[in-house]
């Protein structure tokens, strides 16, 4: 089953403007949409391999509020 992880830019902008912290990450499958501020991606053995993070209260030093943390080698294409 394919899963798409999407960052909702409109919700991100709305949160910045209003100060709210509504979920900006959408996890989509063929049968559901789920919303979160953090998503962990696991391999087939149940080991966490990556994480999508939304932290407006503690952004990265570059100012990013949403980012992906990978725990294994990453290929740049």
Rounded CA-CA distance 75/77 in Å is: 6
Q: Residue length, the chain?
A: 77
Residue 23's pLDDT is 98
Rounded CA-CA distance 23/37 in Å is: 5
Rounded CA-CA distance 45/71 in Å is: 14
Residue 48's pLDDT is 97
- Give the pLDDT confidence of 17-76 residue by residue, as tens digits: 999 999 999 999 999 999 999 999 999 999 999 999 999 999 999 999 999 999 999 999
């Amino acid at each position: 089953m394919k899963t798409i992880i999407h960052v909702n830019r409109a919700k991100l902008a709305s949160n910045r403007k209003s100060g709210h912290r509504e979920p900006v990450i959408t996890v989509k499958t063929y049968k559901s949409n789920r919303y979160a501020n953090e998503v962990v991606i696991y391999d087939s053995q149940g080991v966490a391999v990556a994480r999508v993070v939304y932290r407006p209260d503690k952004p990265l030093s570059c100012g990013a509020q949403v980012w992906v943390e990978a725990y294994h080698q990453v290929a740049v294409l």
